[in-house]
Amino acid sequence: MVDASSSPAPAPVTRAEAERLLEAVSAALALPIPPPCLPGTSDALVRLSEAAALLLSFRLGERDEPAPVFRP
Amino acid sequence: MRAGALLDQSSAAIAEAVRSRAASALAVAEAAIARIAARNPALNAFTDVTADRALAEARAVDAAVARGEDPGPLAGVPFAVKNLFDIRGLATRAGSLIGRESPPAARDAAAIRRLRAAGAVLLGGLNMGEYAYDFTGENAHDGPTRNPHDPSRMAGGSSGGSAAAVAARLVPIALGSDTNGSIRVPAAFCGVYGLKPTFGRLTRAGTVPFVASLDHIGPFARSVRDLALAYDALQGWDAEDPACRRKAAEPVTNRLSLGAAGLRIARLGGAFDIGATAEVIAAVNDCAAALGVARSINLPEIPRARASAQIITAAEAGALHLDRLRTRALDYDPATRDRFLAGALVPAPWVYAAQRFRRWFFERVMETFRGVDVLVAPATPFAAPPIGSAGTIEFGGRDVPVRAAIGLFTSPFSLVGLPVVSVPAGRSAEGLPLGVQIIAAPWREEHALRAAAALEAEGFASCPAPAG
């Protein structure tokens, strides 16, 4: 088992990386991004990656459960 | 008292007048319709006025009174709902262009049915930010809701029409929804009370979802008693909302007179002092002093709590809208569409990290509530900005978009589902209302409402009447 604390958390994506992420995932999801939306969507992805970097750099144990719990 | 003057009174006063036959529900409904016609064009709070239906419902209330029956604690009280609640016979807009193309709702949302069962009379649907992804109250399709205290200012969002309609005395009670602050923000900007109950307390059945794991509904009012009356009428399990917890109703209206007696209260400092204006800090300090608060405490990792809410919101909302975004992205409000699109592209590990942090943060918050019953914090960092504000502000050493900064004090508490009352307290340098959050442990709405009632009784919280 890999020690979860041994890998560095990713930094926020750059604008260029956000554009590549957008291109790849939108193609995989069959979600065309209209040209007027491209700059704003890339900007929003950069902001979300900044939030994600904060969370991914917060070390939790493998047994720390996520919040939503399904109650059958 | 004339019916028009009754609209300036509390729901409790209206219901008493109707039940005692001092005024008819019909006259109150007619007065509300006339007032909406006169004042709404300047505010843009209502998007749909259900006048014929309101008159019919009011006549039914009067007929019940005439038969010697009790129509309920909200007998003849006019109310209106954010337009993401289904209203029988109307397309449910949810603030969107696409929503208004949907077929008319076959029945009312559960919350409307519950207020109706308590005797209240529905007056219509209220303006909101598109699909609730908004803190401003602006809307490209319906136009912005304007703040009754200064029409050049935002009403706040996304339940902007709900707060503005109550502040402007169009209705004494309105319903809204809150995912990251969409009840508490407009309540603060418009100077009224708003309650975001515990996650899972009130049924959301018959509303358009935004973020299923974070969405709440709740009431707006101009007094704590009215807020509690509406909340009590809305309580109770509902099998049609999977998040609604199977709990018996816990009425609070008759417990408000207990005030803050016996409650252990602390002021939140640290991250909740950073970025707030001096007037906001003063409002929090005044409320804390009025409640006899002697200590300030910090919650850990507030920036990460905000980040967690941001990621979960984007990802769930983007995934929910994926089909529509594929074909109708350009029909969305430009203020929301790029965030919806980006949310649909979020990698799963980001969401998983957010949900794992959310659990960790909840456990730390619950440790705090072992030693305290109520927390006091600002609702927004500043008073209502001008409509159309763009750009960024410096917030804790980072540049943050103004529109996102509005919700930075509210999102950590909805992330973990805590009940919060936003009380109108203090004024900005320009004379605009401010709001203070009164936060309690899960399922302890009573504690937050009792503390709010104490602030109201001592004159530290009140709903200022708009000028003119």
**Residue B139 clears pLDDT 60, i.e. is over it:** yes
Within 13 Å, how many C-alpha atoms sit on residue B393's CB side?
Answer: 17
In a domain, A4, yes or no: no
- Is B11 one of the catalytic residues? no
Give residue-wise pLDDT tens across range B335-351: 999 999 999 999 999 99
Residue of B24, B162, B177, B182 marked active site: B182
Give residue-wise pLDDT tens across range B18-54: 999 999 999 999 999 999 999 999 999 999 999 999 9
**The pLDDT value given to residue A4:** 47
Q: How many residues does chain B have?
A: 468
Closest residue to B356, CB basis, from A22, A43, A64: A64
Whether B159 contacts B179, CB under 8 Å: no
**The pLDDT value given to residue A70:** 65
Which of B 151-190 lie inside 8 A of A, CB atoms? none
Instruction: Tell me what the mean pLDDT of segment A30-59 comes to.
Output: 97
Architecture of domain B3-457: Alpha-Beta Complex (3.90)
**The pLDDT value given to residue B79:** 98
Confidence of residue A5 (pLDDT cuts 50, 70, 90): low
CA distance to A41, B91, B102, per residue, from B347 (Å):
15, 34, 31
- Is B247 one of the catalytic residues? no
CB contact under 8 A, A26 and B308: no
| Residues of chain B contacting residue A32, judged by C-beta atoms under 8 Å apart | 326, 329
Q: Distance from CA of residue B461 to its chain's centroid?
A: 17
**The pLDDT value given to residue B22:** 97
ipTM of this predicted structure = 0.94
B325 touching A (Cβ < 8 Å): yes
Q: Which domain holds residue A49?
A: 15-56
**The pLDDT value given to residue A71:** 67
Sequence-distant (≥ 6) Cβ neighbours of residue A61 within 8 angstroms:
A4
Determine the Cα angle at B34 with ends B33 and B37, to 5°.
Answer: 85
Give residue-wise pLDDT tens across range B278-318: 999 999 999 999 999 989 999 999 999 999 999 999 999 99
**The pLDDT value given to residue A1:** 37
Q: Which residues of A touch B (CB under 8 A)?
A: 21-22, 25-26, 29-34, 36-37, 40-45, 47-52, 54-56, 58, 60, 64-68
Confidence of residue A3 (pLDDT cuts 50, 70, 90): very low
Give residue-wise pLDDT tens across range B44-87: 999 999 999 999 999 999 999 999 999 999 999 999 999 999 99
CA distance to A22, B106, B181, B316, B318, per residue, from B344 (Å):
10, 30, 22, 8, 4
Q: Å from A50 to nearest chain B CA?
A: 8
CB contact under 8 A, B345 and A45: yes
**The pLDDT value given to residue A2:** 41
Confidence of residue B269 (pLDDT cuts 50, 70, 90): very high
Counting one residue from chain A and one from chain B, the pairs whose CB atoms sit within 8 A come to 111
Instruction: Tell me what the mean pLDDT of segment A39-62 comes to.
Output: 96
Please state, in angstroms and rounded to a whole number, the distance separating the CA atoms of residues B449 and B207: 25
Tell me the pLDDT of chain B averaged across its residues: 97
Give residue-wise pLDDT tens across range B163-179: 999 999 999 999 999 99
In a domain, A65, yes or no: no
Instruction: Tell me what the mean pLDDT of segment A36-61 comes to.
Output: 96
Mutation choice for A interface testing from B211, B345, B355 by most A CBs within 10 A = B345
Q: Which residue of A has its CA nearest to B305?
A: A55
In a domain, A35, yes or no: yes
Instruction: Tell me what the mean pLDDT of segment B189-217 comes to.
Output: 98
In a domain, A1, yes or no: no
Give residue-wise pLDDT tens across range B77-115: 999 999 999 999 999 999 999 999 999 999 999 999 999
Residue of B11, B24, B82, B308 marked active site: B82
Question: At B275, which amino acid appears?
Answer: G
Confidence of residue B1 (pLDDT cuts 50, 70, 90): low
Instruction: Tell me what the mean pLDDT of segment B412-424 comes to.
Output: 98
Can you read off the two tokens belonging to residue B88?
Answer: 């029988």
- Is B182 one of the catalytic residues? yes
Tell me the pLDDT of chain A averaged across its residues: 88
Residue B191: which of B231, B230, B237, B223 has the closest Cα?
A: B223
Please state, in angstroms and rounded to a whole number, the distance separating the CA atoms of residues B243 and B217: 12
* Count of structural domains, chain A: 1
In a domain, A27, yes or no: yes
Which residues on adjacent β-strands are paired with residue B121?
B78
| Residues of chain A contacting residue B362, judged by C-beta atoms under 8 Å apart | 67
Q: Phi, psi at residue B141, to the nearest 5°?
A: -90, -40
Confidence of residue A69 (pLDDT cuts 50, 70, 90): low
Domain range summary for chain B, segments of one domain joined by +: 3-457
